[in-house]
Chain A
């Protein structure tokens, strides 16, 4: 009886002991007030944990009791917070940047074995300070050039910021800037990316194991977030380099509540050329420049609501007054609202706008022509994160995008009287998703989810929609009213990745994703041009569907200072597109008729060794891969390598902190040449020698390799003013890597033919001066 009474008395206490409470809040930078993404929050004893989301918010549910919670993040001093959890609590914390980590690129851990314990695979989160130390062309720090040094990611060509991920073409990469998609991520014919590193907070690349949250592209996601703006102090950051100058201004409007950031960059190749050469060599009315402008405003209304407004404006301009010129550029706009329903349920509502347009004009004596093309879209999306418990974080939501495609317009004025206007196209692309990050046991964790997508080709103005015959001309047509749906495609996209921890230092991971892609880029080159045109799936062009499986072994050494991994992957692509021989893709109303669909496959091995900490750091990455297509009507229906297929791709990155204020860096890259179509013979027609081609992409460009090096010297820090000089050299041993190889009749030997290699860059030194106050 006494025992029964005891049980009755302590039963409520037992119930209290079982009750879970939620600790939630935000983690920010103590110096700037910026949200910190991916901060690890965990209980030291139970190892239950959480991480901050894209807005710095975290939520961790634990049974009532006393806890020692640790907050740790790369480059910041780890903080600990003792707490008695007896009710739901909010706890916001500011982490202090670690001075040691700032001076050396060695990084103190968020969680030093995250690559072992996380279920994520095929993901790289870049440290912006790592980007800053890597020497690149003209000294311009470049996000896209840096990710091309990672395994599985390769450059599309010399001077190009187009990139290929695990055998995917350039248009299979979803590039997001504050959630808005960017359709062209390069300036100056691919020499620079559109990303001004001064304005960026984080860069994450997904090569595989892509969560259900993302969709719309078949191969990868490059998710880039902008800084919000310093909420505590005004800062000015800038730099002057050989080819461009940049300036960033940020600061609080209402301290700790509202802040802004404006960041701009402009090149001045035309100013340099005009100053260096006389008027008859370089005309005074020459324009040759590009610019980027990033702007953002963020406002914390209260503890539960925040709004963000951000935009990007960038353009390239080349021309001579109004006689002849070309311009192209991106515009994005993002409005977002974060709302906290309760300690466990976080939502983000976004309205996104994105536009890419290209223009060319020429004119004289009252006659002018103007060629334009572009793509535009408006997206509404809603995303929820439900921190169910320490072992389950559920995300769900949906989005809808309205696309408008302008394939091309050629308009004339004056004596010329012709216009060619390719019909605009439009489409809706929608999706819903559900995913869970689950810690199944101490050894097993998983990310899994499902994305359902739908694509509707919609008639803009009433008119005819064609189908095509073998002669590439319309063979049938149907009349559609404005707003009528012409074609619908559906995508069933399961995703999962599993992690099994073998021991303290190693794990095995596998992943699978199915991706649907409803847009594709018409491109006539390997590296991309401003004239490339985005086209939607239609009654004639089927969507791309990709299955990708991957497996990997991850092992750390020397207390997680050395990370190693070996991953293999295999991709199968349905409806891969290529163009029939002789396809005219310029201002062709019937261009859909020239597209052939077939199968593609890509497989490879990625090896990675990375040293994270110490005066000497860096990594080595090696990729062995093959990517090929099989399309009826091309290459006699045999498998053939795609243009960007590279058998071997090696990157070695090294950084050494020589003295507290002097660091050295070097990068060596090597890659098999791209697959190309060269002539296997020649013949004579009308007295002219004509090259004769056999297999498509049956040859290789010469191997590509170069070394870049830089030295960074920091100035003495005076109060708030910091500065550094960066001296770098691109292609230090002056190798003339082939940009293209042309075959032509010899200029010196009559009747002979020759191969001529064009190289873009030999050795290119550069200097830049950077400051911050």
Chain B
């Protein structure tokens, strides 16, 4: 018994020697940069939200941009200038996303021009969505994961992003982007880090995206702490809009739901 207390003491000393604490740190203030969230989904109108970067420790919400001119052009040279709706949000009125089409975006703001492009891929098809049980390690609790199976073309390199919706609300930071690495005609996967409870209504969205968006969201995931171990130094996710942060996404997507038993 005495030996056990001695060992316990040393184990506690070791365990408590390390610690985590919130600290004050002096960071530089950078010049505000344009931030773009531009979406053009299949069969939907384009929507663009423009904001700016702020100081890192600022408690204020990012300032919106109200005086920009945004034009989206399809590869058949059909263009549309978006209408400002308020709160930094701009929307199209006529042009809707079409599979297989390239789109260009041009943003004019404070005498600067920002350009980007995106390709809207073909929509996939969900085969099944079911709940599977998984135990990540001995002694760990049983996880209930959502496993999705969907179609993939083995002859082309395709990119996807998966996003989860729980009880009708999108799960923050639940997405992950990837390319099809196998030659199979289906893809089946589950996110082992997401576990659900009995009775949850789980929705899984499968976005077909282009390669720059796959890169952007993979890097975004790392920036949020999901996978910095795979990279060498902190960095800004690569935007497909030159000179700005954010993205121009032209996507198709499908969704299915399941109730967790």
Residues of A with C-beta under 8 A to B11:
272-273, 276-277
Inter-chain contacts of B225 with A (CB < 8 A): 742, 744
Could you say which residues of chain B place their CB within 8 Å of the CB of A549?
none
Cβ distance A118 to chain B, nearest Cβ, rounded Å: 41
Nearest residue, chain B, Cβ from A764: B17
CA distance A586 to B232 in the complex (A): 10
- For B47-91 the 0/1 string (1 means CB < 8 A from A) is 000011111111101100000000000000000000000000000
| 9-residue interface stretch from B26-34, B120-128, B197-205 | B26-34
Interface residues of A in 715-751 (CB under 8 A from B): 736, 739, 741-744, 749, 751
Chain B neighbourhood of A272, CB < 8 A: 7, 10-11
- Contact call A690/B137, Cβ cutoff below 8 A: no
A743 to B57, CA, bound (A): 10
Residue pair B138, A585 in contact (C-beta under 8 Å)? no
* B193 interface residue per 8 A CB criterion: no
A761 touches B17 (CB 8 A): yes
* Complex CA–CA separation, A697 to B232 (angstroms): 12
Given contacts A681-B29, A693-B235, contact A743 B56 (CB under 8 A): yes
Using known A-B contacts A677-B234, A691-B223, determine if residue A683 contacts B35 with beta carbons closer than 8 Å. Answer: yes
| Bound Cα distance from A581 to B33, whole angstroms | 19
Let me know if A280 is at the binding interface, CB within 8 A: yes
Cα separation A579 to B235 with both chains bound (whole Å): 11
Decide: A275 near B35, CB < 8 A? Known: A280-B139, A685-B246, A691-B223: no
In the complex, A4 has a CB within 8 A of chain B: no
Tell yes or no: A320 within 8 A of B by CB. Answer: yes
B62 touches which one: A586, A684, A699 (CB < 8 A)?
A684
Q: Which of A582, A696, A763 contacts B17 (CB 8 A)?
A: A763
| Residues of A close to B218: CB separation below 8 A | 584
The yes or no answer to B156 lying at the interface (CB within 8 A) is no
Binary interface encoding of chain B residues 5-33 relative to chain A, with 1 for a CB under 8 A from any of its CBs, else 0: 00110110110111111111101111011
A658 at interface, CB cutoff 8 A: no
Contacts of A479 in B (CB 8 A): none
Q: Roughly how many angstroms separate A283 CA and B173 CA in the complex, as a whole number?
A: 32
Q: What is the 8 Å Cβ interface bit string for chain A, positions 267-299, against chain B (1 contact, 0 not)?
A: 000001101110010010100000000000000
Residue A678 CB within 8 A of the other chain? yes
For residue A756, CB closer than 8 A to chain B, the reply is yes
> Which residues of B are found within 8 Å of A702, using beta-carbon distances?
23
Chain A proximity of B34: nearest CB distance (Å): 9
Nearest-neighbour CB distance to chain A for B109, whole angstroms, equals 15
The complex places the Cα of A275 from the Cα of B225 at a distance, in Å, of: 34
A680 contacts chain B at the CB level, 8 A cutoff = yes
Do A686 and B37 touch (CB < 8 A)?
yes
- Interface centre among B4, B224, B238, by most chain A C-beta atoms within 10 angstroms, is B224
The smallest C-beta distance from A56 to any residue of chain B, in angstroms, reads 42
B237 at the A/B interface (Cβ < 8 Å)? yes
Contacts of A321 in B (CB 8 A): 138
Is the Cβ of A683 less than 8 Å from the Cβ of B17?
Answer: no
- CB-based contact B246/A758 at 8 Å: no
On whether A759 and B18 interact (CB within 8 A), knowing A680-B56, A692-B33, A764-B13, the answer reads yes
Contacts of A739 in B (CB 8 A): 18
CA distance A685 to B219 in the complex (A): 13
A138's nearest neighbour on chain B, judged by CB, is B14
Contact partners of B24 in chain A: CB under 8 A: 755
In the complex, the answer to whether B236 meets A692 with C-beta atoms within 8 Å is yes
Q: List CB contacts (< 8 Å) of B168-222 with chain A.
A: 172-173, 181-182, 215, 218-220
Closest A residue to B235 by beta carbon equals A581
Q: B122 to nearest A CB, angstroms?
A: 22
Q: Is the pair A754, B224 in contact by a Cβ cutoff of 8 Å? A: no
Please measure, in the bound complex, the distance between the C-alpha atom of A546 and the C-alpha atom of B152, giving whole angstroms: 50
The answer to whether A276 and B8 touch across the interface, beta carbons within 8 angstroms, is: yes
A364 at the interface (CB under 8 A from B): yes
Query: Bound state CA distance, A586 and B229, in angstroms?
Result: 9
Nearest A residue to B182 via CB reads A418
Which chain A residues border B233 with CB–CB below 8 Å? 579, 581, 643, 677, 696-697
Residues of A within 8 A of B (CB): 242, 272-273, 275-277, 280, 283, 285, 320-321, 323-324, 364, 418, 420, 523-524, 578-579, 581-586, 643, 677-688, 690-694, 696-699, 702, 736, 739, 741-744, 749, 751-765
Further pairs besides A687-B172, A698-B28: 9, Cβ < 8 Å: A285-B138, A323-B138, A420-B181, A524-B231, A581-B236, A582-B237, A692-B236, A742-B225, A756-B20
Nearest 9 interchain pairs by C-beta: A581-B235, A680-B30, A681-B53, A579-B232, A276-B8, A586-B230, A276-B11, A762-B17, A276-B7
